[in-house]
Amino acid sequence: MKKSLVSHKGFTLIELLVVIAIIAILAAILFPVFAQAKLAAKKTVDLSNLKQVCLSTFMYSTDFDDVNATIRNDPDQWYTGGTLKTSLTPDTFQTHDLIEQLAPYVKSHGIWASPEDSLIHDTCTGPNTFTSYNKTGGPIDYIPTYNGQLNVIKAPNGTWTPADVPESYGVFGMPWHYNCAYSSSSLACTGSLTSTQVSSPADTIIFAPMFITWSNYTGIIQQRTDQRQFAFSSIIPDFPAIAQCPYCWCSSTDGLSMESFNGQTNWAFADGHAKSMPRTATMDPSWLSNQATAIATFKKNLFEAATPGYN
């Protein structure tokens, strides 16, 4: 009987190269899709976080007769006669800020952190000895809009007046005893706007996602300078680019960056909704090029809360 011959034929080099080429092409097509899907998931989580932060402000104001939380609540603990204390104890460091006031309604500290933020956040051990001690918590990325028109603070180097911060429109402010103690007696001590003082809630942004290297759960959370930076990347760049923050108190290397998901940024509004739109859609360009005209002619400004017509 003859043995049957079995042929063992392998792949040729050409066949292997073709298969490898096909796999490489598929990978090149799929990897960007995976990256976009991951970015979209982060964007959705971010919107959810902002929505929950908004809801917490509503619950707070409902419990406190329509009064909104303040950016800080106990400044007297770290100010003495208009001068920064040279040393602090854990019990007197930035206690009762907006984050702590809303804590009973938020529950999870992680909600305050944007999933896009990968900055290293310092613990603020700079020349003014602000320190978070052993309770750094996590980053605070959702910055409440500050109403510099109604809130005036006397700094150690002099008194700030409303004219010094004409671009700081917003909802939140300092508590009345902070302003009364450290401001000119001729200026009103207003704190945050009430919910009913917001003229157009659906068109008024109350939280903006800005990443600050010095923002920790027990640290400074507000941005009280030029809030046009929320709208224009020429002032504060889109993440991952970082702009130096010369007025930050913690470190000379502190920086700022604005959230960006493929050119879109998430915003939280006074009526409780959150949505994504370009930064430039929040404010007319004339606010940067000719602010006096923008104010006089009521150009679009979604951060202006109290005066009808801007949004």
Q: Report the alpha-carbon distance of residue 148 to residue 193 in Å, rounded.
A: 11
Nearest 5°: the CA angle 154, 144, 209 is 130
Q: Supply the pLDDT for residue 133.
A: 39
Query: What are the mean pLDDT values of the chain's consecutive 10-residue runs (311 residues total)?
Result: 58 81 82 76 94 92 89 55 42 60 85 89 54 55 85 54 69 67 48 88 93 70 74 92 77 84 94 94 93 91 88 83
pLDDT computed for residue 77 by the predictor: 45
Q: pLDDT at position 303, please?
A: 93
Cα 115-72-311 angle, rounded to 5 deg: 70
Stated pTM of the model: 0.78
Cα angle at 102 between 256 and 138, to 5 degrees? Answer: 40
Q: What angle do CA 302, 305, 308 make, to 5 degrees?
A: 90
Q: Where along the chain do its domains lie?
A: 15-296
pLDDT at 47: 95
What is the pLDDT, as a whole number, of residue 302?
95
Q: What pLDDT does residue 249 have? A: 63
Q: What is the DSSP string of 168-195?
A: ---SB---HHHHHHHS-TTS----SPBG
Sequence-ordered alpha helix ranges (H) in 90-217: 98-106, 176-182
305, 170 Cβ separation under 8 angstroms: yes
